[in-house]
Structures are given as structure tokens and as C-alpha cells.
């Protein structure tokens, strides 16, 4: 890996001054509920409430505001970076073109256009979009604004680190979502200068752990596929620049499963009334899963909240299932009138709300004259599952819990 110049604290402070009239304040706040859950003080940095719904406006504006007046910009993004570039271009009075995947969620496309950018929907993935954006920049004389591979972008994201040093002066560890590494690089660079005693932990999704692999190898490692519900951090490789910052300033990079991310989203929605996208919930997922041990004060950066409503519905259902708030039961019943009603009555006696019922006739592996009913009900927690099964068995039903 070739030597890289690391972003310094003066660059981050200069970016902060340029961003001061642009940013929406996102002060950290404490959560008593999370403190009870984790046994340690927890503060959240709500960048999902930032302009454009994520931290990306910081890096985009930090770079674009330094360009000569009128110079157009071009970018490639599936969502958050697109909106950050679009708004930053609008605020500086320049034209922006953003290449987005053909299958990019419509709300993110509409939001990017609403901020004033021209959107080109082409390509299956972000890498194809980036190649097209580079060709557009060459052909039109526009400046390509990368999502993380630029010193100004890192400096812009680093302004969060300066804010954390002021807003959470007792923090022992700061936990940051990691995709391409620009956010954690900037935050870690700032804290290394002003709060070197604070540990910085990056969090990737298990299915997109390119930075963790790169750290282990000491060079940029590229994964074949990035597969995760957290599309905002589904990056196949960091850049040499961001990896250099991670190696220099980040104490550890951990990974969390999609189930843990879904659980964190559910906790944020249900208990903290915060709508956060999967990538934005990764830092909290690491704390909830025990991937970041300790008892001292912790800060989790909620990096974004731009989640497709249809995806949010699916993720809420998934998170409820992970939390044990649903259970599916297989019940064998005689195939004659009244038996399904008796099962419904038994469930009603337990005060259960039925989510779905599937009546399987004929049931493979079961005697003629018998049917299988798969019923899903709402539950309190995983322990409740066994209570339900035992109560049904006591009522004479042959029941099995389904995974």
C-alpha cells in the first residue's frame, strides 16, 4: 500500500468553519433505556436528523465548497451520498449530476432530484454507476465527488469527531458505522488530536466486512460481494486513503449480523422513537450484541435515517421475530368441522393475537384424515413461546414450535 497523507486537525477545523452555516445541530443525548439494557452510560449522535437525513452533507459540502464558482459536480451513489452532493451543489450554486443504480429506491431518487440534482439511473450496482460518473466528469469537465476517497470528504466527516469531544467529554468509546471508511476515518482523526484517550471502534456488517479484512491484511482487500440489509455500508473495499486512517487511528473494527442490526432498529424505533436506516443502526447493534465490551460511557453514531418505507416494514417484522415477539406453531388436527375453532378458542384463552393461519391439506407425512395448521401469534419474548406450547399440549393438541 502506497504511503498516504493523513488528514490533520487543522483541516477538520477549517471544514467545521465552512460547514457552520450549513449544518443542522445534532447534539448527542443520553438514553436511560439503553443504559439499563447495557449496564453502561450510552449517548447517541443523531446524524439521521442531519440535513438530507445523514452525515453525508458534511463531506460533500466540505469538498464542493472549495471548488471554483460554477464548476459542476458529478457523483455516483445509491442514496445518502447522492442527496448530500445534490444539496451541497445547490447551496453553492452549481449544477450536479448523480448516477444512481437503476433499481435505487424511488424515495431516494425523488429526494435527490428535489435537492436540485439531475439523476441518471443506469447500471446494476454502484461500481457501474461510478464508472459512468467518471466518464461524465471527463467528458463535461465536472468534478467527481467521491463518497469517501478524498481528504476534504474525510475532513468534513471529521467535524462529527470535534462535536463528540465537546458533547460527550466523558466518553470512553465512540462506535461508528463503517462502509468505505470515510466517516470513521474523519471521526478517528479528529479524536486522535483532541481526545486521544477515547477508543474508536468501527462497525461493519458481517456480509460486507472489507475494512476488517483489510486491517488484518495491512492492505486494501476487496470482497467479492457485499451482502447485507445495510445498503449504506455495503461496500466491497475501502480506499488506500481511508484504510490508512483506520490503521493509524481506529482501535478496532468489529462486525455485526443483519439480525443484530434489525434488532437495533427495532429498539430505536420502539423505545427511542428514532427512525434509523440499517447502516445507521450498526453502531448500536455492536453495543447491544456485546461486540464492544466495557462499562464506561459509550457513544453510538446513528449515521443516517433514509430508509425505504417498504423496507422498513419488512425490517420491523424481522426485528420483531429476532426479539422473539412472534412464534410459529405447527398443530396437527383431525380433519373434521370444529377442530380449527377449538384451536382458535384455546389461543384466545391465552390472550394471544393471531397474525396468520395456514391450513395445510393434505399434510405430507401425516395420516389421511388429519391436517396441519401453522399458526403465527404475537408473543412477549422467547420464554413465552414454551408457555404457549405447553398450554396447548395441556388442552390436548399435538403442537411443535417452528424455528
For helices 56-64 and 80-91, the axis angle rounded to 10 degrees is 40
Query: H/E/C letters for each residue in 73-133?
Result: EEEECCCHHHHHHHHHHHHCCCCEEEEECCCCCHHHHHHHHHCCCEEEECCCCHHHHHHHH
Residue where the block lists cell 460554477: 70
Q: How many CB atoms sit inside 10 A of residue 284's CB?
A: 32
Q: How far apart are CA 109 and CA 24, in angstroms?
A: 22
Q: Which of 56, 77, 214, 289 is catalytic?
A: 56
Q: How far apart are CA 185 and CA 248, in angstroms?
A: 9
342 catalytic? Reply is: no
Q: Which of 54, 239, 289, 303 is catalytic?
A: 303
303 catalytic? Reply is: yes
Question: Which pairing describes strands 326-334 and 398-402: parallel, antiparallel, or unpaired?
Answer: antiparallel
Residue where the block lists cell 388429519: 370
Q: How far apart are CA 146 and CA 62, in angstroms?
A: 12
Q: How far apart are CA 180 and CA 52, in angstroms?
A: 19
Q: How many CB atoms sit inside 10 A of residue 320's CB?
A: 18
Residue where the block lists cell 384424515: 369
391 Cβ neighbours under 8 A, 6+ residues apart:
346, 350
Of 79, 70, 123, 117, nearest to 98 (Cα)? 117
Looking at the annotation, which residues are catalytic?
Answer: 56, 303
Amino acid at each position: 500500500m502506497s504511503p498516504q497523507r493523513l488528514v490533520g486537525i487543522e483541516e477538520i477545523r477549517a471544514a467545521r468553519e465552512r460547514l457552520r452555516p450549513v449544518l443542522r445541530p445534532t447534539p448527542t443525548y443520553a438514553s436511560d433505556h439503553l443504559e439499563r439494557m447495557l449496564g453502561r452510560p450510552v449517548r447517541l449522535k443523531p446524524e439521521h436528523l442531519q440535513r438530507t437525513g445523514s452525515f453525508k452533507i458534511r463531506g460533500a459540502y466540505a469538498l464542493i465548497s472549495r471548488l471554483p464558482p460554477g464548476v459542476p459536480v458529478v457523483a455516483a451513489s445509491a442514496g445518502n451520498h447522492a442527496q448530500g452532493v445534490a444539496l451541497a451543489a445547490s447551496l453553492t450554486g452549481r449544477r450536479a449530476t448523480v448516477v444512481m443504480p437503476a433499481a435505487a429506491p424511488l424515495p431516494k431518487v425523488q429526494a435527490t432530484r428535489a435537492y436540485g440534482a439531475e439523476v441518471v439511473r443506469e447500471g446494476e450496482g454502484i461500481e457501474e454507476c461510478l464508472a459512468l460518473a467518471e466518464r461524465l466528469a471527463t467528458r463535461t469537465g465536472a468534478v467527481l465527488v467521491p463518497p469517501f476517497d478524498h481528504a476534504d470528504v474525510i475532513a468534513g466527516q471529521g467535524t462529527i469527531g470535534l462535536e463528540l469531544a465537546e458533547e460527550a467529554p466523558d466518553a470512553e468509546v465512540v462506535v461508528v458505522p463503517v462502509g468505505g471508511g470515510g466517516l470513521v476515518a474523519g471521526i478517528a482523526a479528529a479524536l486522535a488530536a483532541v481526545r486521544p484517550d477515547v477508543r474508536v471502534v468501527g462497525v461493519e456488517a458481517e456480509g460486507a466486512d472489507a475494512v476488517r479484512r483489510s486491517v488484518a491484511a495491512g492492505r486494501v482487500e476487496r470482497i467479492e460481494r457485499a451482502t447485507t440489509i445495510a445498503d449504506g455500508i455495503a461496500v466491497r473495499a475501502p480506499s488506500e486513503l481511508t484504510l490508512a486512517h483506520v490503521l493509524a487511528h481506529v482501535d478496532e473494527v468489529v462486525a455485526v449480523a443483519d439480525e443484530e442490526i434489525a434488532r437495533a432498529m427495532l429498539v430505536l424505533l420502539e423505545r427511542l422513537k428514532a427512525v434509523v436506516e440499517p447502516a445507521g443502526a450498526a453502531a448500536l447493534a455492536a453495543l447491544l450484541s456485546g461486540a464492544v465490551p466495557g462499562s464506561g460511557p459509550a457513544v453510538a453514531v446513528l449515521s443516517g435515517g433514509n430508509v425505504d418505507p417498504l423496507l422498513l416494514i419488512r425490517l420491523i417484522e424481522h426485528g420483531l421475530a429476532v426479539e422473539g415477539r412472534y412464534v410459529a406453531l405447527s398443530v396437527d388436527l383431525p380433519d373434521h368441522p370444529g377442530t380449527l375453532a377449538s384451536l382458535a378458542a384455546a389461543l384466545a384463552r391465552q390472550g394471544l393475537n393471531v397474525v396468520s393461519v395456514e391450513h395445510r391439506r393434505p399434510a405430507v407425512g401425516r395420516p389421511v384424515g388429519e391436517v396441519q395448521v401453522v399458526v403465527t401469534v404475537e408473543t412477549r419474548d422467547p420464554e413465552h413461546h414454551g408457555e404457549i406450547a405447553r398450554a396447548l399440549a395441556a388442552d390436548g393438541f399435538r403442537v411443535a414450535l417452528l424455528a
